[in-house]
Amino acid sequence: MGMFQFARLQNIEEHNFHNVLEDFYKMGIRGLVRENLQNSLDARLSKDQPVVVKITFGDLAVNDIPGIDELKDRVQCLEGKNQYSQATIKRMQEAMKAEVVQFISFEDCNTKGLRGAKNGQSNNPEDTFGVYAYSKGVHGVEDDPEKEKVRGGSHGIGKIASNSASDIYLMYFANCDEHGEQHIGGTIQLIEHQYQQAYYRATGYFAQAKTYGDDQVQKFPYENNFHHVFAKDTRGLKIIVPFLREGFADEVEMVKTICDSFLIAILEKKLVVEINDKVIDDKTIHMYLSDEQYYQNEISEMKKEFTPLYAQTYTKIPAQKIQISNSETTFNFDLYFTYDEKIPVGRMAIFRTVGMKISDYKVLNNVRKPFNAVLIGGADEDVYLKSLENESHTDISADHIKDAKTKRLARKFLAKLNSELDRIIKEEIKKQNPVDGIIDTSDILYTTEIQFKKQIEKALGTVTINTGKKMMKTNDASAPKKQTKKGGKNKKAPALQKKPNPPKPNLTERDDELKKDRYSVQPNLVKRLIVNGKEIIHFDFSQEKAMQSAANCDILFEIIDGMGAKYAFDLANNYLEILNRHTFSTYAFDGNKIKGVTIPKNGIVELIVTFKPTYNKALKFNYLVEV
């Protein structure tokens, strides 16, 4: 028996994958993040603390995925009867060949977790574990009716969002309850299939089965002692999606989804989200909203995404109360409303009280009006809005409502909402546009004053010593930026700056090698010249304290381009001979290093280099010394 439970069938009837899988897949990472965060928010434990959701993604060895061997076998047995399912099966089989796959997990804290895991598939609605794990289209009932009203999910298909994000439609959930009991469940969404001479349903449950009588089967979860990616050891739930589909591990898109959908939950300190090392809370969210990497910040260009505007409207403008009636019931909302001529597209965000956005609502006949608004109700309003939501919780409308009377009331409600907003917008326009006054032409008639920064000296980390010459400091950004060349005669400052030695590969090297210090030589101390087919290199170490006590040094070569990028240089490939200009003794070289160069009393080292014909004479260098 495998670790996944698939119910037996008499024969195969349905040849398609669950249709919602592809619908969710099309929503990409947005759908996945929204569903999981919403579920976590709904399960909030203490009202004094935010729900914290940790999103992690990375690599996972396939062998560490619980029960994977059986799934591999089953996926091999799938047979597609139409083009679409054939393509999906092929994708699954291809994905199964990998040894390492991507995963994403959502771990929540300050949440209840699921109850009654030990009871397994008990069919008791209070055993939320059993309901969550083994049923579709229903959800466990909150014991507090107020909370039940404001919770987000209403279509009972949210769980499948996680399956849809996996190449093989696989997800796990690890639970830790209030008693510290840790269990793990999961599902895989295949199609009805034949496996080892029997027929099975599409859905497999990661569970153990206990059989009663002839054919009564009850499922129980496993105790959680699997790989740490699957571990959940504090109260709450963790969703793990292995085989994460391509393009889903998009951090920018995740951050944006969180800000877009949970703006108010975050601003109201109900939710904190951590993505790998990023933390999005009521303070840091403003940083993301004003970062060009995530959002357009020019108000006049905010034509598709409005979250930075909603944040402004919600935090800066006091709410006004508005009442919208559907002729049977009157609903009370808080409306936050901004009017700003720079806004090119007018939208009203509708939020549930839990702080999750339902819709960027388009007010009829006002989509291009320069306003921005946020609308939030209370518990009753949440219930009503929930009934108007489409399946993916991204808009409200009356179109999907089946009951004729409810539909009529919904239409009335939306018409009232539109006309009330229309009235408010018109009033504001009148207030902001007196018929007599200056016409704002700042977008077409203006002059631009452009400022430049003049960098007088190089922005190098340079220091001046008493001769006015400089040695380059390495790795020091705090050094003074401007120094006049001839000034600073009396200033004392370190002339050579230590550069860390690269780690020595082994300890068998000679002791004196180990003790050498490395310095970068500021280009001012060096003069180079190619004349008569030879290169002369002149080093002036006369003022360098670090060099004064040394009798000799090693000199290292680095190629440098104008932007400061450095490249390796091999002396043997380019140079034939390196000679001391005064003593005519030759120096050995190895790699990019000349060894044992004598430093005379006056500190002036002059080398004469004979180079190969292939040597690129246009190269520019930086030098390092070791003493």
Minimum distance of other proteins from residue 449's CB (angstroms):
5
* Smallest separation, CB 25 to other proteins (Å): 30
Amino acid at 18: H
Tell me whether residue 313 or residue 520 sits nearer to other proteins (CB atom): 520
Minimum distance of other proteins from residue 229's CB (angstroms): 41
State in angstroms the smallest separation of the CB of 583 from other proteins: 18
- Nearer of residues 182 and 483 to other proteins, judged by Cβ: 483
Q: Hey, how many other C-beta atoms are within 10 angstroms of the C-beta on 565?
A: 8
CA distance 365 to 367: 6
Nearer to other proteins, 114 or 363 (CB): 363
Pick between residue 503 and residue 564 the one whose CB is nearest to other proteins. Answer: 564
Question: CB neighbours of 464 closer than 8 A, spacing ≥ 6?
Answer: 470, 483, 487, 488, 491, 493
Cβ distance to other proteins smaller for residue 163 or 462: 462
Cα–Cα nearest to 594, from 626, 562, 548: 626
Minimum CB–partner distance for residue 609 and other proteins (Å): 10
Interaction site with other proteins (CB under 8 A): 341, 344, 362, 364-365, 367-370, 425-426, 429-430, 433, 435-460, 462, 469-470, 472, 485, 522-524, 526-532, 535-536, 538, 560-564, 617-623
Least distance in angstroms from the C-beta of 538 to other proteins: 5
Measured CA to CA, the distance from residue 176 to residue 184 in angstroms comes to 9
Q: Which is nearer to other proteins, 162 or 520 (CB)?
A: 520
Shortest distance in whole angstroms from residue 525 CB to other proteins: 9
CB 98, min distance to other proteins, A:
38
In contact, 326 and 413? CB cutoff 8 Å: yes
Say whether 238 sits in a helix, a strand or coil.
strand
Cα distance between residue 97 and residue 25, in whole Å: 22
Shortest distance (Å) from residue 474 CB to other proteins = 12
Count Cβ atoms below 10 Å from residue 315 Cβ, excluding itself: 14
User: 65 is written with which tokens?
Assistant: 């995925």
Which backbone phi and psi does 441 adopt, to 5 degrees?
Answer: -120, 25
CB nearer other proteins, residue 91 or residue 342:
342
State which residue, 264 or 363, has the beta carbon closest to other proteins.
Answer: 363
| Cβ atoms of 321 and 313 closer than 8 Å | no
* DSSP string over 267-323: HTTSEEEEETTEEE-TTTHHHHHT-TTTS---GGG-SS--HHHHHHHHHHS--EEEE
State the minimum distance, in angstroms, from the CB of residue 534 to other proteins.
Answer: 11
Q: Nearer Cβ to other proteins, position 110 or 520?
A: 520
List the Cα angle 431/433/438 in 5-degree steps.
135
Question: Which residues 6+ apart lie within 8 Å of 386 measured at CB?
Answer: 154, 352
Helix or strand run (H / E) with residue 259: helix 251-267
| Whether the Cβ atoms of residue 353 and residue 379 lie closer than 8 Å to each other | yes
State the minimum distance, in angstroms, from the CB of residue 93 to other proteins: 44
Question: Which of 410, 294, 396 minimizes the C-alpha distance to 349?
Answer: 396
Q: Which of 239, 272, 251, 255 is nearest to 355 (CA)?
A: 272
Instruction: CB nearer to other proteins: give 275 or 597.
Output: 597
Q: How far apart are the first and last CA of the chain?
A: 71
Q: Which is nearer to other proteins, 435 or 507 (CB)?
A: 435
Tell me which amino acid residue 261 is.
Answer: S
